Amino acid sequence: MLTPAPSRNGSFKRQRDSESPAAAPAPPAKKPAAACNACNACGTCGECDVCDGQRDDACDPPPFILGDLTPLATPTKPATRRVPRLESHFSDLKLWSPTRGRPPRREHAIFRTPEVVDRIMRFVDAARAIPREKPRHRRKPQSLSHALLMYDGDQAKAVQAWHETSAAGRSQSAPALQEPGLAPCLLVNKLWHAAALAIITENLAFADHRRFRQLAACPRQQRARFSRPASFVLHKLSRLTQGELDAVAPLVASEKLRWLELYICPKVLPPVPVFQHSRNIEKLVLPGNRLLTDEFIMKIAPHLGKLRVLDLRACDQITDGAVLSITSNCPLLEVCNLGRHRNGAAITSVSLVALARNTNIDTVGAAGCHVTDAGVWELAMHRGAHIRRLSLNNCRLLTNNSVPALLSMNYFPQLSVLEIRDVKHITNLRPIVAYTSAKRALGFPVLVEGGERIDLLIKEEEWRMERERSARVLAALSQWVNEEDPQD
């Protein structure tokens, strides 16, 4: 149905009402106590309540005209100025974003306060991950039958674990480094740039050679705005040169440095001046370094008085002499990993004895080293009550007189991880099984990594001990049933 168009005087109902003068709407009443515009301008009118004068034409209210009515018969309202609303919640606060057709608005004052901006950015930076070696709960199975032993005959879990091991061996890709979450904050304004740059440079971590080159090429004026880093981590930079690392040394060396790591960077050595100016280093990780020698360790050891963690895995040129230098200068050392696949004869029981007598060691990695039963006994006598992790994989000189004998006499009461893979002369697994069973009964899990051969021997020993326990229980029940009652 077609709707007739309204007239210029408004709607049809308003047009009928406007034909009689009596029905015309009265002008809106003025507040009695308010002065008119002319009073505020000249103070000469006298008809209003504020000033006693005659109101002039400029003070008269605008006449009410029906032609100003809209098609919906409502008077046209003058444009009102919007008052900015006070934000009621912190999540409603926003930075100004440029939009077309609108005048620029300033951001909220909270984002111009240095202390608040620093707190916000540190919260965001907490999610940034430092590249590191992925920790493993258990070592990978050596075969499908080994996987069945590890998972107590669970076919599905064993097959899945073996497939994952095979796939990981075929495709080994470098871990992706998470982008720093504060990078966009460098482009907001000067305050945000300074705050973000200071927080980002507190922990320097690189897994990309191209980005490290950019840092090495940074001008001195820009480096002056960097923070002194508390950690410096290089992850698998195999093409890194000594000149590039030396160029960054003045930026890294400071008393704030606590963590220095060159993970699989085989062609470079940490500059000696870094250790001379950084005497608070607590963690030193240099695995897979081909250039690391005893002479270098002896140069830096006097500056490592607060060292707690030392990782020298696969550093084939390190011998007992370097370990003796470390133990003489680092009494707070707690973790020491000297495992290797080559040149195992360079690390002997002398290193174990020095670690046991001169440090606070609780985690020892001596995989592939030529340690003997006497060295393990020395470690147990001095630090046995504090040892938690012991890695003796491929230590071919060890026999049943080492770990099995010590566990049977409870010399390692806090031991939670024991690795004895490829130790052919260890055949007596009963003390190890008894120790793990007793700890598990107390709610203290123990992980024993022995490889396929030792895991099979452990399963057989567990079955044998269970059968003996059942036989003892049955014998006790039979004796109790068949014994005569004294009252009879």
Query: Can you tell me the distance from the alpha carbon of 73 to that of 79, in angstroms, rounded to the nearest whole number?
Result: 18
Query: Can you tell me the distance from the alpha carbon of 277 to that of 303, in angstroms, rounded to the nearest whole number?
Result: 9
What is residue 265's predicted lDDT score, i.e. its pLDDT? 92
Query: Can you tell me the distance from the alpha carbon of 255 to that of 199, in angstroms, rounded to the nearest whole number?
Result: 17
Q: Is 364 helix (H, G, I), strand (E, B) or coil?
A: strand
Question: What tens digit of pLDDT does each residue of 135-192 get?
Answer: 555 666 656 666 665 666 666 776 666 666 666 554 444 444 445 577 777 777 888 7
Residue 50 banded pLDDT, cuts 50, 70, 90: very low
Residue 234 banded pLDDT, cuts 50, 70, 90: very high
The answer to whether 11 touches 31, Cβ cutoff 8 Å, is no
Give burial (CB, 10 Å; 0-12/13-18/19+) of 345.
exposed
Please state whether the predicted TM-score (pTM) of the whole model is above 0.75. no
Tokens of 346: 């360079």
- Give the phi and the psi of residue 262 in degrees, each rounded to 5: -125, 85
Residue 96 banded pLDDT, cuts 50, 70, 90: low
Determine the length of the chain: 488
Question: What tens digit of pLDDT does each residue of 201-224 get?
Answer: 888 888 888 889 888 888 777 777
- Sorted by sequence, the CB contacts under 8 Å of residue 395 that are 6+ apart come out as 366, 367, 368, 369, 370, 371, 423
- Give the phi and the psi of residue 5 in degrees, each rounded to 5: -75, 145
DSSP 62-80: PPP-GGGB-TTS-BPPPP-
Q: Residue 320: is its pLDDT beyond 50?
A: yes
Q: How far is CA 333 from CA 327, 328, 337, 346, in A?
A: 8, 10, 11, 21
232-475: CATH homologous superfamily? Ribonuclease Inhibitor (3.80.10.10)
Beta strands in 25-107, from DSSP E residues, in sequence order: none
What's the chain's average pLDDT?
78
Question: What tens digit of pLDDT does each residue of 24-38 get?
Answer: 455 555 444 444 444
- Sorted by sequence, the CB contacts under 8 Å of residue 434 that are 6+ apart come out as 407, 408, 465
Average confidence (pLDDT) over 400-424:
94
Tokens of 434: 């008894």
The answer to whether 270 touches 260, Cβ cutoff 8 Å, is yes
At 360, the amino acid letter reads: N
Q: Is 346 helix (H, G, I), strand (E, B) or coil?
A: helix
Which residue in 321, 318, 252, 325 sits closest to 291, CA to CA?
318
